Structure 1
């Protein structure tokens, strides 16, 4: 009798909590109640936002880059959940922050593209996390998203490689997708995280070598560069 009352009471309480705090309002990181944007106030506060662009240097050239935040704490968890746990809500969060940054910095672009992954990686993971972010951002800005680069060579995972090894690892592995419209002048290149910049610079160079006038680099997070 007592156990039955306990189960009924628990069920009623859970129903009430579901109404007050629906699952859609759950923080993707800590699972606490989130008023909006799938992040609670505490987790949002712990994001180390980057408010200014920085440069990636290689071979005497420098490339301007934007990132939402440092690759630490909450934002690192968001990137990892998208990349390795198929949590596409995290892609939505990253796209929301990117939209805000693009508007605040008045970045004018014609098209959005993304860093590609190899066929082997795609078959294993089932999706490209950079493409997920780019597609969501495309919808929010009403700007087309196109795959303009493809990866034609299998590479090692960049994680754990030295800076020199990272550059050698991605050398010559990207090709321009000729079927994409090369009449675009200003392209936004999206990736989840920047570390040495080897991948992003190689992609950026591939775009510019095929007629793209200006490439804006934007990532979810900035790791050690």
Structure 2
């Protein structure tokens, strides 16, 4: 019941944001009439975008001429490609926290659209087709009930409609893990081991799967998801996230 109540509140908040004069998703400033963006100019300019060379595996910014970041260089990944919208700081961090912890479903249309744009840019740049299926990182059922929704699932649902790509809840979280924000880098790796499994009656053999989540830090969660999918026969796994945190 608590989960249903939280979901109802989140949907109500989303409706209010569309029924009343439009405000910036980040700072709540009223947007000018005719403004097509979801954020004001100041907040758009403040979002910590990724610049320069990016890791060819996870998409983290690189400091030199190397092709892989420190994390991907020392740890083989189960996913093939990754991209992010922003760094997890400043206005981007605030926006993601609104989505996750403040019944912020009204931010989902903007965030999903931005994820679609980044994915389309990546595919065009590397002359690749879009993935065959979108998959959100699952929450443990108890955590999803408490929050009322899975933010990654909300995003993939909107992305699927926008891109005309199937969305499937391919994975389940088979054990409850500690919140990653409370753990050190090595603790994160141990915390997530064996936490995911392929959902019953799902077939990913020969398919390119895009896994979507909110934050990439060390990549432990997304790599664990990708490992399960690859072991189940997926051809490739890509990852797409809202923001990059600081990893190892």
Provide the residue aligned with 2:102 in structure 1.
85
Q: Deviations over 1:133-157 (max 9, x none)?
A: 1111111111111001100001111
Q: How many residues align?
A: 204
Could you say what secondary structure the match of 2:155 adopts? helix
Provide the residue aligned with 1:7 in structure 2.
none
Matched, 1:75 2:129: no
RMSD of aligned alpha carbons? 1.8
Provide the residue aligned with 1:46 in structure 2.
46
**Aligned with residue 27 of structure 1, among 13, 24, 45:** 24
The whole-number CA distance in structure 1 between the counterparts of 2:176 and 2:120 is: 36
Could you say what secondary structure the match of 2:82 adopts? strand
Matched, 1:159 2:176: no
Q: Is the 8 A contact 1:187 1:216 kept in 2?
A: yes
Q: Deviations over 1:71-92 (max 9, x none)?
A: 1111111110010011112222
Provide the residue aligned with 2:16 in structure 1.
none
- Displacement after TM superposition at 1:183 (Å): 4.0
Alpha-carbon distance change, 184 to 88 in structure 1, aligned in 2, over 3 angstroms: farther
Provide the residue aligned with 2:76 in structure 1.
61
Matched, 1:131 2:153: yes
Q: Which has the higher Rg, Structure 1 or Structure 2? A: 1
Alpha-carbon distance change, 173 to 144 in structure 1, aligned in 2, over 3 angstroms: same
Gaps of 5+ in 1: 1-21
Q: Deviations over 1:102-123 (max 9, x none)?
A: 1111152111001101011011
Provide the residue aligned with 2:142 in structure 1.
120
Q: Is the 8 A contact 1:71 1:222 kept in 2?
A: yes
Could you say what secondary structure the match of 1:48 adopts? coil
User: TM-score, normalised on structure 2?
Assistant: 0.77
Gaps of 5+ in 2: 1-18, 61-68
Structure (1 or 2) with the greater strand fraction: 1
The whole-number CA distance in structure 2 between the counterparts of 1:197 and 1:42 is: 31
Provide the residue aligned with 1:150 in structure 2.
172
Alpha-carbon distance change, 138 to 172 in structure 1, aligned in 2, over 3 angstroms: same
Q: Deviations over 1:29-86 (max 9, x none)?
A: 1111232232111111111222542355387414532111101111111110010011
